[in-house]
Structure 1
Amino acid sequence: MRGVTKVYGEGPTAFSALKGVDLDIQAGDFVAVMGASGSGKSTTMNILGCLDVPSGGRFLFRGHPVERLDRDQRALLRRRYLGFVFQGFNLLSRTSALENVELPLLYRGEDKRRRRELGMAALDKVGLANWSRNTPAELSGGQQQRVAIARAIVTEPDVLLADEPTGNLDSERSVEIMELLSGLNRDNGITVIMVTHEADMAAFARTVVHFRDGLVERIEARHRQVSGQGEAVEA
């Protein structure tokens, strides 16, 4: 991102959510984005996820100027390269875990056999292969978030964007989800970009970006390791 601005509204009621953000995210990094409400972190995530476009400045993904893409082109970019995990899980309540995970593949036009194969592989990666037939109501909050992560990685994205992925979970389940995201980053090379308000969750990241008043306030580069109790600690 180079000089990225985002303005909502016009005239005297216009609000500048981003005021010239410069930010580099390297492939394979695990980035936590932090800041108070209204600091610009969620707007930045929407632009990084190609859900919104800048009002000004440049956003390059793999060297390609995303701000020049139309709505359909951005949708194709999301479908091919990006996966999303949300605080509220956003699972279909009346369908099984496997069917929820298969949904992005259905949009891609994959046949039933291929959808099942890839869906089960994704559930296995998050440790839920034996729960594939259960509906969300039959799963714990932590299990539901694992299904949501499986849905996000079933298309084998390069980048996983997570918006407060542990916000609805207790401490123990939160650590489990963070260990899972860390493993996907470390073992599968997926770039993880996560918005969080929780410093102990951000400690799992290698890079922490702090936003304030629509700008990047500071960036911390960390070397992290996971303790025997499943806690992230600075090495």
Structure 2
Amino acid sequence: MAPLIQLSHVTKTFGMGDAQFQALRGVDLEIAAGDFVAIMGPSGSGKSTMMNILGCLDVPSSGQYLFKGRDVGTLDRDQRALLRRRYLGFVFQGYNLLARTSALENVELPLIYRGDGREVRQTLSLAALTKVGLADWAGHTPAELSGGQQQRVAIARALVTNPELLLADEPTGNLDSERSIEIMRLLTDLNQTSGITVVMVTHEPDMASFAQRIIHFKDGLVDHVDTNQPVLA
């Protein structure tokens, strides 16, 4: 069975001439469906560029990125946007919630872009909030929620389209230790019970310990990969 994600000799170069910078220098990587992978590395190691490529927000300068066997580099901007809407969910360090709208309305946003009707949006969004344990908070605005609850709303928003791949960029970066563990347990549960593939960038070893594999980046390359015994949810 082909991997969900397969990268072969992927490079990414920014700028030209003397200002040229090679963020990725030939990355080979495979991620199977159902994996939980953490990506770590120092600043400038290429991990954020890697996430942008995995999320179809950017394309390699050379090499090949296959998602479900499809060469992402051959897709135009609209086709990549469609791929993101159908298969990918995103969670960021900043929750990126609309301040004056309820948790339910925030979760509805991807469904509005998809063109779903109001009744369908509300049903799916409430189900997503239920999945992250916030059904009773559906009518509350972000100001009425804790940081951990806001991140749960952001995760529900990422889940509402039923993605196959969840990309999480420093998802616990703005949270204290207790809330961070709460979020990591939620991601682990989603991975184990729903089969969602999770790829997470983190600089925190304690958070990476929840993953099945830890991929260490250095100078635009995969330096080494640790197979991990994940922390139990």
TM interval, short-chain normalised: over 0.9
Partner of 1:121: 127
Name the SS of the counterpart of 1:23 in structure 2: strand
Number of aligned pairs? Answer: 227
Unaligned runs of 5+ in 1: 231-235
Aligned with 1:192: secondary structure? strand
Alignment of 1:222-233 (within 5 A): 222-226=228-232
1:195 aligns with 2:216: no
Deviations 1:82-129 (A, max 9, x none): 000000000000100000000000111111000000000000000000
> 1:32 and 1:101 mapped to 2: Cα distance?
25
**Secondary structure of the residue that 1:59 maps to in structure 2?**
strand
> TM-score normalized by structure 2?
0.96
**1:41-120 correspondence to structure 2 within 5 Å:** 41-120=47-126
Give the C-alpha shift of residue 224 in structure 1. 2.2
Partner of 2:37: 31
Q: Does 1:185 align with 2:167?
A: no
How far has the Cα of 1:225 moved from its partner?
4.0
- 3-state secondary structure, aligned to 1:28: coil
Distance 1:70 1:171 in 2: 41
Unaligned runs of 5+ residues in structure 2 are: 1-6
Query: How well do the aligned residues superpose, as a CA RMSD in angstroms?
Result: 0.7
1:172 aligns with 178
Cα distance in 2, alignment partners of residues 200 and 149 from structure 1 = 20
Per-residue deviation, 1:222? 1.6
Aligned partners of 1:219 and 1:88: how far apart in 2?
A: 28
Q: Cα offset for 1:220? A: 1.0
Q: Which residue of 2 aligns with 1:233?
A: none
Distance 1:115 1:198 in 2: 35
8 A Cα contact 2:39 2:214, kept in partner = yes
- Tell me which residue corresponds to 1:130: 136
Equivalent residue of 2:100, what SS? coil
Distance 1:140 1:216 in 2: 36
Name which of 212, 217, 222 aligns with 1:216. 222
Task: Check if 1:140 corresponds to 2:146.
Answer: yes
Secondary structure of the 1:124 match is helix
In the alignment, is the contact (CA less than 8 A) between 2:209 and 2:231 conserved in 1? Answer: no
Give the % identical residues: 69
2:150 is paired with a residue of what secondary structure? helix
SS at 1:77 equivalent: helix
2: CA distance between counterparts of 1:103 and 1:176? 24
TM-score under structure 1 length normalisation: 0.96
Q: Does 1:162 pair with 2:165?
A: no
Residues 174-193 of structure 1: CA distance to partner in whole angstroms, max 9, x if unpaired? 00000000000000000000
Question: Which AA in structure 1 matches 2:198?
Answer: V
Q: Deviations over 1:173-220 (max 9, x none)?
A: 000000000000000000000000000000000010000000000011
Residue type of the alignment partner of 2:67: F
